[in-house]
Structure 1
C-alpha cells in the first residue's frame, strides 16, 4: 500500500475507535489494541491532534476534537432531507415512547446517522449506540438493501436462530419488502429486540434514508399501530421533499 494511503487508513482506524462507549483512549491502550508500536500510533495521534480531529486531554490521553463537529454540521447541512427527517424522528419517538432512528445506505453498509434523544422508555434494545448496523438482521438494513436491489451481504453471520443467512431466504424477504414497502425484524439481531422501518423518498422516487423504530419484541403486539405511525411520519417527510 502506498505510504499516503497507509497514512489515511491509519488515521481512519484511529478515529473509528472513538465512540460513545469509549470516548477517551491512552496512547498505550491504543497501541496495544491495534497491535502496533507506540511510536507509530503516537505519530498518527499527533497528526490528528494537530489537525483538530483529536484533542489531547492529559498525559498520553486523547478525545475527539471539536473540528469534527464542524465537519458533521457541514455534512448534515448539505443533506436537504436531514432536518425534516430528524424532526419527524423525534416526534415519532415521543408518540410511540420507543427509540426512533435514521439510517442510510453507504455502499453495502447501513449506517445509523441519528437517534432520538427523548420520548422513549422501557427496557434497552440491541444496538442503541451502534453506528454501523448488521444489514441482513435489521429492518432498516433489509429495507435499504432490498430497495437498492442489493444481494445478501457477505459474510451474513447467524446472530440468532432467526437471522436470514441464505440467498434463498434473502430473495424471498426482499421480494416481500419491495411488495409491501416497509420492513420488520423480529429477534434477528438479538433475542428480545425487534424493529420496523419505512423509506424516506425524494423526487423521482429516490430512496434517501430509512426511518425506523427499535422495540422490545413484546411490543410487536402493537405492530399495526406502530407501523401506521411510522409510515405516516415517513410519508409526511417524503411529501415535503417532493415525493409524489
Structure 2
C-alpha cells in the first residue's frame, strides 16, 4: 500500500487521489479496480472516484482489459519535466560519451537522505544488460559507487558516519557491502583520497563501477555523481581503475568543469 507521507490512514480529498496515483504508478502493467482497492486499502467508491478524477485529468486511462494504467498526460508531464532539468541537459552528453567509450552503462544520480536517486542513465548501443537502476529509481547510498562518492563529501570522520547511520541497520545487498560504520568510513576515506568511489559488486553481484562527484551548479558542493557501471566479467574492476584518469578527462572536457580535490 502506498501512502502520502504523514497522512497515515486519514487520507482525505486530494490526498486520496494522490495515494491512488502513487499506487497506480507502481503497476506498469495496470491494475483492475478491485486490485487498486486491495492495494490501497481504501473503500471501493473512494478509489473509483479517485480514478475517475485522474482519468478526467489525463493522468490515468484504461487499457483494453479495463485495467487502469498511467495516462499519456502523466507521462508527458514527467518526461517534459525530466528533459527540462538543467542538470539533465548538461550531463546527458557526458553519459553518452562514457557509455560509448566503455561499452557499459553510465549513470547520473543525486543523494536523497539514505538513498541515491537516478536522474539519468545511458546504456551502450550494443551489449546492454538490464541493471537494477532505473531513472527515478533508488538504491542505498552505502552500497553504491555514486552514493559513496557523494556521502564522502558530507561525512569526514567515523563519528560522522555513526551519526549518519543513526539507529538504522545497513542492508547487506551482497557479501561485499559495508555494513558497519568502521568499514563504511574506510571506504569513504579512500574515496576522498582518490577523488572517486568504487562499487566492487557491493550493490549487485556481477556489477562493479567507479563513480565521480560532479560540480554542475556549485564549485564546492557536488550536484550529483556520475558512474560507469560494468559487468564484472566483461569489464573487471581493475580495468575500470586503469581508466580513471581517462574518465576524469572526459568529465572535464564534456562539462567544462575540472574535478575538485578533497
Tell me if the contact between 1:109 and 1:135 (Cα under 8 Å) persists in the aligned partners: yes
Cα-Cα RMSD: 3.0
Tell me if the contact between 2:20 and 2:40 (Cα under 8 Å) persists in the aligned partners: no
Aligned to 1:230: 247
Q: Would you tell me which structure has more strand in proportion to its own residues?
A: 1
Greater CA deviation, 172-181 or 96-105? Answer: 172-181
TM-score by length of 2: 0.77
Measure, in 1, the Cα distance between the counterparts of 2:73 and 2:96: 26
2:181 counterpart of 1:164: no
Post-superposition offset of 1:226: 3.7
Equivalenced residue count is: 239
Aligned to 1:73: 80
Larger Rg: 2
Aligned to 1:206: 221
Tell me if the contact between 1:101 and 1:213 (Cα under 8 Å) persists in the aligned partners: yes
Secondary structure of the residue aligned to 2:143 is coil
Aligned to 2:132: 127
Measure, in 2, the Cα distance between the counterparts of 1:13 and 1:133: 19
Tell me if the contact between 2:148 and 2:197 (Cα under 8 Å) persists in the aligned partners: yes
2:39 counterpart of 1:24: no
Post-superposition offset of 1:61: 1.4
Measure, in 2, the Cα distance between the counterparts of 1:241 and 1:38: 56
* Structure 1 residues 1-244: aligned runs within 5 Å: 1=7, 3=12, 6-7=15-16, 10-11=19-20, 13-18=22-27, 22-68=28-74, 69-77=76-84, 79-121=85-127, 124=129, 126-129=131-134, 131-149=137-155, 151-152=164-165, 154-202=168-216, 203-218=218-233, 219=235, 220-239=237-256
Query: Tell me, which stretches of 5 or more residues in structure 1 are unaligned?
Result: none
Secondary structure of the residue aligned to 1:212 is strand
Tell me if the contact between 1:108 and 1:145 (Cα under 8 Å) persists in the aligned partners: no
Query: Tell me, which stretches of 5 or more residues in structure 2 are unaligned?
Result: 1-6, 156-160
Measure, in 2, the Cα distance between the counterparts of 1:195 and 1:215: 6
Change (3 A) 1:241 1:177: closer
